Amino acid sequence: MILTYHSIDDSGSVISVSPAQFRRHMEILAAKRIRVVPLTEVRDTPGAVALTFDDGYENFLTHAAPVLAEYGLPATVFPVSGYCGRDNGWPTQPAFVPRLPLMGWRALERVVAQGIGIGAHSATHPFLTRVPDEQVREELSGCRASLEARLGVTADTLVYPYGDSDARVRRLAAEVFRLACGTRLGFLSPGDHCFDLPRIDAYYVRDSRWFGRLFSRSGRSYVAMRRWVRGLRGGGSGGGI
Ligand SMILES: [Zn+2]
pLDDT in tens, 133-181: 999 999 999 999 999 999 999 999 999 999 999 999 999 999 999 999 9
Q: How far is the CA of 162 from the centre of ligand 1 (A)?
A: 6
Which parts of the chain sit beneath pLDDT 50?
234-238
Q: Is residue 240 part of a domain?
A: no
Domain range for 138 is 2-232
State the pLDDT at residue 229: 63
In a domain, 173, yes or no: yes
> Does any domain span residue 237?
no
Distance of CA 210 from the midpoint of ligand 1 (Å): 24
| Whole-angstrom distance, CA of residue 187 vs CA of residue 3 | 9
Rounded to the nearest angstrom, the distance between the alpha carbon of 24 and the centre of ligand 1 is 24
Within a domain: residue 238? no
Distance 30 CA to ligand 1 centre (A): 27
In a domain, 241, yes or no: no
Residue-wise DSSP of 73-108: ---EEEE-GGGTTSBS--TT--TTSPP-BB--HHHH
Helix axes 133-151, 105-113, angle to 10 degrees: 60
- Residue 55, in any domain of the structure: yes
Count of beta carbons in the 10 Å neighbourhood of residue 130 = 11
Establish if 157 belongs to a structural domain: yes
How far, in Å, is the centroid of ligand 1 from the Cα of 57? 10
Whether 124 and 138 have beta carbons less than 8 Å apart is answered as no
CATH number at residue 52: 3.20.20.370
Please give the helix or strand (H or E) that residue 137 lies within, else none.
helix 133-151
- What phi, psi does 71 have (nearest 5°)? -95, -5
pLDDT computed for residue 157 by the predictor: 98
Predicted pLDDT of residue 238: 40
Q: How far is the CA of 221 from the centre of ligand 1 (A)?
A: 26
66, part of any domain:
yes
pLDDT at residue 223 in the model: 72
Distance 102 CA to ligand 1 centre (A): 11
- At residue 235, the pLDDT reads 45
What confidence score (pLDDT) does residue 219 get? 64
Domains in the chain, number: 1
Ligand 1 centroid distance, CA of 159 (Å): 8
Distance (Å) from CA 174 to ligand 1 centroid = 19
If you measure from the C-alpha of residue 79 to the centroid of ligand 1, how many angstroms do you get, rounded to a whole number? 8
pLDDT at 216: 82
pTM of the model: 0.92
Using alpha carbons only, give the angle 199, 69, 150 rounded to the nearest 5 degrees. 75
What's the gap in Å between 52 CA and the centre of ligand 1?
11
